[in-house]
Structure 1
Amino acid sequence: MTDTKKKRMSMLDSLAAAGTPPAPGSMMSSNRALRSARDAVDAHHVWELDPDEIEDERYSDRLDPKDVHDLRVSIEQNGQTVPILVRRHPTEANRYLLVYGRRRLEAIRASDKVKKVRALIANLDDTAALRAQVSENTGRRDLSYIERSLFAQELLDNAFGSQAQIAEVLNVTRSAVSMSISVAKAIGTALAHAIGPAHGIGRPRWESLAKDLSNAAMGMDELCQVAIDARGKAAAGEQADEEPQVDPSVAAFEAVVRHVKRNTGSSPGRKPRQKATPLLIDGAPVGVIKRSARALRLDLTNVDDAFAQWLDARAQNVLEDLHDRWKRET
């Protein structure tokens, strides 16, 4: 933006903010007219802005790392061909909020050669800005299933709106949003970031992993490390031009699935095996105790009926006695 244009826009901002009446003979008769004139100028120009004047307060919708080296080199060599989109800060003059174009903005901020970022300035409220962000990202490359799920969960957690409103923004059904949020909560933010976007891994496989995690007796730190190791190995293979090349985040997803399957003793289409321990009274088998990742079940099938009735009447007291004993011993 040239100094002359910048001063002109700053004057419009100051007049609109202060409520200063227009000069006699001016065509603009109110603050609304001033804002309309400013918005009209914004809509028909690509401005050159100082990157430091732009703030990024958006909801995060991508899991890709901020690797902008190649983009920075391209912009330095060929220029910034596609402008970013910003909107004016609601309270601070000459400040802007990013709508989309984070990687282009970060690339220019990291450059010693390019000092200004080319930008369109739009008159958008919070909801319209969010729609524009989602639309632009979807136009360039579809968000993966887990990215959409985490995005929906973040919107809900930050009181953006109801599930129905979130569904409208994401252009999906309310039931799809509900399922996505449940998957996001089951996977967890830490594990999702460790795995990455995993483009090509659709809803059924993420739902299956979420279900298996509920049966897995392992910590998230362990699974995150499995994902990080797999991504590192796959990335190293890409750099060495090994065949076949695999998306590191997909490799991480597959590694986590295999690890969970091994530790739950499950395979596709088969329920996790339960550990059964025989129970004896006076050396004679009377039943079994079965343990899975989610439950502990006591089956007594060969005991005296009188003893069964006695135990049934006192089960609560017996359980509390055993729990007290466990606390003393541990």
Structure 2
Amino acid sequence: MTDSKKKRMSMLDSLAAAGTSSAPGSMMSSNRALRSARDAVDAHHVWELDPVEIQDERYSDRLDPKDVHDLRASIEQNGQTVPILVRRHPTDPNRYLLVYGRRRLEAIRASDKVSKVRALIANLDDTAALRAQVSENTGRRDLSYIERALFAQELLDSGFGSQAQIAEVLNVTRSAVSMSVSVAKAIGTALAHAIGPAHGVGRPRWEALAKELSDSRIDIDELSQVALDVRAQAVVSEQAGGDPKVDPSVAAFEAVARHIKKSVSPTLGKKPRSKTTALVIDGTPVGAIKRSGRALRLDLTDVDDAFAEWLDARAQEVLEELHDRWKRET
């Protein structure tokens, strides 16, 4: 193998090695996917392709792709240093399908100075191409929780495979895929796109937002507008010299969460009223049950000592029986 060919073949090896220090526990699967793509490359040389010959039919895994303006300027000034990866179109010999490198492809498409895109061509099926796409992206920058959740939902809805197969591709457990899909469905694509990736907002907060959203029955369009307004304000603030470290999508997430809480809370400044119901046994008052907010308190003040001891010993059992009865009836 010539030195130039070795150099070209090592490009994907370099990608496979990227990011190992930041996510050592998940990189074994990523490395395998990228090395499989590397082994499938038709690496006689790096091809120069017309961007119009390349189609991007991949599953979307980014909510807020970075602007390609700066990348276009860099490529126009310094050239395209890292090739994209494409695979041959299954029916059209004159076209290619993008595996990864979307931002580089878009930057060159938008340029009036660079007309060709440098690309490696690999022989990959749909599954292998998807694995390479996921591995290359997560090796460079981890997807946020909601991006992974929407990605998993799209794969499931499109018939790509079972939850177990999707879990293998994403290098997570099946239960994690199941929970992610439920969160994605509760949040909805429109609201998720309005909020953005919200890097740093993890699974527990997205799950809490999904539950609050389900309980509130608030209009999704209203929440989406809240998110979009906050993100627009963040852009204006940054242009005016504001803190560039503030993530607009995180600010949008927090604004939506506050809006939901405010909408479902009682009148501001007033505590929710408590409700007390008297309890009677054989016609004799024995206490009361009091509900305040989400708390439920049972006070038995005048019952037979033997019954009190019996109930005390079996309280957990009785509670579970009542809960099962509630589930059956509702």
| 8 Å Cα contact 1:156/1:162 also seen in 2 | yes
TM-score between both structures, scaled by the size of structure 1:
0.68
Aligned 1:199-210 pairs, distance under 5 A: 199-210=199-210
AA in 1 matched with 2:145: Y
Three-state SS of the structure 2 residue aligned to 1:98 is strand
Between 177-186 and 238-247, report the one with greater CA deviation.
238-247
Quote how far apart the aligned CAs of 1:49 are.
0.3
* 1:255-304, Cα deviation, whole Å (9 max, x unpaired): 101111111229xxxxxx978899xxxxxxxxxxx9x9xxxxxxxxxxxx
Alignment partners' CA distance in 2, 1:276 and 1:193: 39
Which residue in the other structure is 2:284 paired with?
Answer: none
| 8 Å Cα contact 1:71/1:107 also seen in 2 | yes
Three-state SS of the structure 2 residue aligned to 1:155 is helix
Alignment partners' CA distance in 2, 1:246 and 1:119: 35
Alignment partners' CA distance in 2, 1:274 and 1:83: 61
Alignment partners' CA distance in 1, 2:194 and 2:223: 9
Alignment partners' CA distance in 2, 1:237 and 1:42: 48
Which residue in the other structure is 2:165 paired with?
Answer: 165
Three-state SS of the structure 2 residue aligned to 1:43 is coil
| 8 Å Cα contact 1:217/1:263 also seen in 2 | no
| 8 Å Cα contact 1:237/1:245 also seen in 2 | no
Quote how far apart the aligned CAs of 1:44 are.
3.6
Change in Cα spacing, 1:263 to 1:41, as seen in structure 2 (3 Å) is closer
Quote how far apart the aligned CAs of 1:173 are.
0.2
Structure 2 unmatched runs, 5+? 1-38, 277-290, 294-330
* 1:193-229, Cα deviation, whole Å (9 max, x unpaired): 0000011110010001001101113200000000000
Three-state SS of the structure 2 residue aligned to 1:42 is coil
Query: Per chain length, whose mean CA-contact separation is higher, i.e. which structure has more relative contact order (CA < 8 Å, sep 6+)?
Result: 2
| 8 Å Cα contact 2:41/2:120 also seen in 1 | no
Alignment partners' CA distance in 2, 1:186 and 1:41: 40
AA in 1 matched with 2:259: H
Three-state SS of the structure 1 residue aligned to 2:149 is helix
Which residue in the other structure is 2:146 paired with?
Answer: 146
Which residue in the other structure is 1:88 paired with?
Answer: 88
Alignment partners' CA distance in 2, 1:135 and 1:217: 37
Q: How many residues align?
A: 241
| 8 Å Cα contact 1:85/1:98 also seen in 2 | yes
Three-state SS of the structure 1 residue aligned to 2:42 is helix
* 1:8-65, Cα deviation, whole Å (9 max, x unpaired): xxxxxxxxxxxxxxxxxxxxxxxxxxxxxxx988224211000000001100000014
Which residue in the other structure is 2:193 paired with?
Answer: 193
Aligned 1:127-138 pairs, distance under 5 A: 127-138=127-138
Change in Cα spacing, 1:213 to 1:125, as seen in structure 2 (3 Å) is same
Alignment partners' CA distance in 2, 1:62 and 1:90: 25
AA in 2 matched with 1:139: G
- Matched residues, percent identical? 81
**Superposition RMSD on alpha carbons, in Å?**
2.7
Change in Cα spacing, 1:260 to 1:80, as seen in structure 2 (3 Å) is same
Between 147-156 and 62-71, report the one with greater CA deviation.
62-71
Q: Select the structure of larger CA radius of gyration.
A: 1
Alignment partners' CA distance in 1, 2:132 and 2:257: 35
AA in 2 matched with 1:144: S
